[in-house]
Amino acid sequence: MSTKIHLACEQRQKPMSVVVTAGQRADAPQLEPVMERIRVAGHRRSGPARTRPVRVRADKAYSSKKIRAYLRRRKIKATTPEPADRVRHRKRKGRSGAARPPL
């Protein structure tokens, strides 16, 4: 038995939220629970805490359509590389499919 730590941190590597799961759990489904736990105090300390970061940077494991749709719904920009096979498939489809990379 092992565990995994799923972590969201800000640019200066300060943790913003943490989710601990069993080691055999996949990484991508844990993005939403990690994002839902983010709370950042505002500039003036009055009012509610921010729950939505401006941008998310992640690796290829987090580039699924479901994750990108979730981030778009929450108006969060994503910097996530696409897996090479998905890029090749998109380019092979050409104009008939999705010629542009995902947002």
Provide the residue-wise pLDDT of the chain in tens; the chain has 103 residues.
799 999 898 888 888 899 999 988 888 899 999 999 988 776 666 777 778 888 888 888 888 889 989 999 999 998 888 888 888 887 787 766 555 556 5
Nearest to 67 by CA among 35, 97, 91: 35
Please tell me the pTM assigned to this model.
0.74
The number of angstroms, rounded, from the C-alpha of 92 to the middle of its chain's C-alpha atoms is 26
CA-to-CA distance for 90 and 101, rounded, in angstroms? 8
Domain parsing of the chain, residue ranges: 3-42+49-85
